[in-house]
Amino acid sequence: MYDQNHLLCRLSASGRSSKIFATRPDGPDVTYEGLFRGAEALAAALVGAGLMPGDRVAVQVKKSLEALQLYLGTIMAGGVFLPLNTAYTVSELAYFLSDATPRIIVCDPARMNEISAIAGSATLLTLAADGTGTLMQAKGAPGFLAVPRDADDLAAILYTSGTTGRSKGAMLSHANLASNSETLRDTWHFTPDDVLIHALPIFHTHGLFVATNVALLAGASVHFLPGFDADAIINAMPNATALMGVPTFYTRLLDHDGLTHETVSNMRLFISGSAPLLVDTHEKWEARTGHRILERYGMTETNMNTSNPYNGERRAGTVGFPLPGVDLRIMANGKEVPKGEIGVLEIRGPNVFQGYWRMPEKTAEELRPDGWFITGDQGFIDERGYVTIVGRAKDMVITGGFNVYPKEVEALIDAIPGVKESAVVGVPHPDFGEAVIAVIVPENKAVTKDDISTALRTDLAKFKQPKQYLFLPELPRNTMGKVQKKALRDRYAGLFTDAQ
């Protein structure tokens, strides 16, 4: 019934099996058949509530197996799944709902009253973390026949984190999701024998598409945790084979005494993404566990783009090679740059999204007519073909007319004994336009401004050396562990200008 490239077509092979899909700390195991039957019952509920093909189902609920069934049920019903970060406030939700105009909204029962005030004409249903709510009461019988959709029809809209300006809804087709998940499954050697520790949120591309779809397409099992919990992950490892996490998962697990060679003896793969993994974390992880973390790079608009090799050298500080079928080029001043030179990464391939929802101008700015997507990430390709990301283009500092790539400065600062991590940003400066400043998170040991500035003096040109060092107990991060550079720029915006 489906086109070969349709996500559900790819999933249907595993959908009737009695194999365990999920084990979880707070509920019974769920088989593949149970997962898909539950999803069919929810698809029937959505159609019963008036969902038509192409309608959006906006979902802001806590992570649960039923929430995953709602994702599958939405696409079975021909709808477009639109997950929303559970941290969004009602005023933030008001923007997403007015922009996406969903036919159905599913929210936590605790937020029902607030959200009904901004729901417009959408039907509002509830789903709690324990799987109860009005959505469940509306369940139809399993056996729902999935609504036919083309591979190029939308399966999901995910709003980008919107670190500058308004969030944009990235439109992802069935073919976008199916092709990327299949590539990742093969690249990372996922099979039915795998048990993936799933501790990521499912409102983001990482936990929803990378972790969930790869496990489903492989016919693997997941150890389904409601969120990051170092104890629970350590306890799960002896019976698991793989972990997907953001870098903060790995730094926090390194703080846990239970992380030993023995604990990970059954694990075959640790994957990191969504934010840069510090070289230091990579090295400490290898020393503690004997495993080299496999770092990959992707984004909401493109799914995953590059990965360090499964077999072959996983190089700390790099994001590896373009995935099979994904084209990657580095551009500066309208031209592709030679190896080793920094520019903006552009991506083309079946993974690249269909554009921004109801924002044709934004789409035209970032997605070229010939299919290349301008990522806004800056990086370079080395002689061996490994890609390194140096930061977001908008985070590059231009001081006195010179470009400073924060990552170069951060890497040197992070290597100084006594420094846990750092973030380098540019703030307005009356003479230089922008000045480089460094925000430092010290380790327990005291480290001073002088230690750092002295260490940098020998390695960095003067214009790259920070003009101020600020110390904070931790860096501001979003839920995916990304450092919020804008928050730092805002906080220190008046450092040089206020004195004038």
Q: Under the rule (CB under 6 A), what is the footprint of ligand AMP? A: 160-161, 205, 273-276, 295, 297-300, 319, 375, 377, 389, 392, 480
Q: Which two tokens stand for residue 494?
A: 């008046």
CB of 235 to ligand AMP, least distance (A): 27
Residue 131: both structure tokens together: 């799987």
Let me know if 206 is exposed, middle or buried by CB neighbors in 10 A (0-12, 13-18, 19+).
Answer: buried
User: Which amino acid type is present at position 165?
Assistant: G
Closer of 272 and 399 to ligand AMP (Cβ): 272
Task: Mention every residue, 6+ apart, whose C-beta is less than 8 A from residue 89.
Answer: none
d(C-alpha 408, C-alpha 152), whole Å? 40
Which lies closer to ligand AMP via its Cβ, residue 249 or residue 432? 249
Give the span between the Cα atoms of 281 and 161, in whole angstroms: 25
Minimum Å gap between C-beta 365 and ligand AMP is 16
Query: Rounded to the nearest whole angstrom, what is the least distance from the CB of residue 375 to ligand AMP in the complex?
Result: 6
Which lies closer to ligand AMP via its Cβ, residue 233 or residue 275?
275
Q: How far is the CB of 379 from ligand AMP (least distance, A)?
A: 8
Tell me the one-letter amino acid at 263: T
Distance of closest approach, residue 388 Cβ to ligand AMP, in angstroms = 9
* Residues in Cβ contact with 265 at an 8 Å cutoff, skipping those fewer than 6 apart: 238
Distance between CA 93 and CA 108 in Å, rounded?
Answer: 13
Q: What are phi and psi of 9, to 5 degrees?
A: -60, -45
Could you say which DSSP state residue 131 is in? S
Residues 6+ apart with CB under 8 A from 37: 142, 143
Q: State in angstroms the smallest separation of the CB of 304 from ligand AMP.
A: 9
Which CB atom, from 17 or from 160, has the smaller least distance to ligand AMP? 160
Q: How far is the CB of 86 from ligand AMP (least distance, A)?
A: 15
Of 248, 249, 253, 245, the C-alpha closest to 271 is 245
Nearer to ligand AMP, 64 or 479 (CB): 479
Q: Which residue has the tokens 């908008």?
A: 394
Q: Is 73 exposed, middle or buried (0-12, 13-18, 19+ CB in 10 A)?
A: buried
Nearer CB in complex with ligand AMP: 407/429: 407
Nearer to ligand AMP, 314 or 392 (CB): 392
Helix (H) or strand (E) run with residue 134 in it: helix 134-137
Q: Which is nearer to ligand AMP, 26 or 313 (CB)?
A: 313
Residue 177 Cβ vs ligand AMP, minimum distance, rounded to whole Å? 14
> Which residue's CB is nearer to ligand AMP, number 64 or number 300?
300
- Distance from C-alpha of 377 to C-alpha of 274, rounded to nearest angstrom: 12
Question: Whole-number minimum distance, CB 376 to ligand AMP, in Å?
Answer: 6
Q: 397 in helix, strand or coil?
A: strand
Token readout for 334 is 């309208």
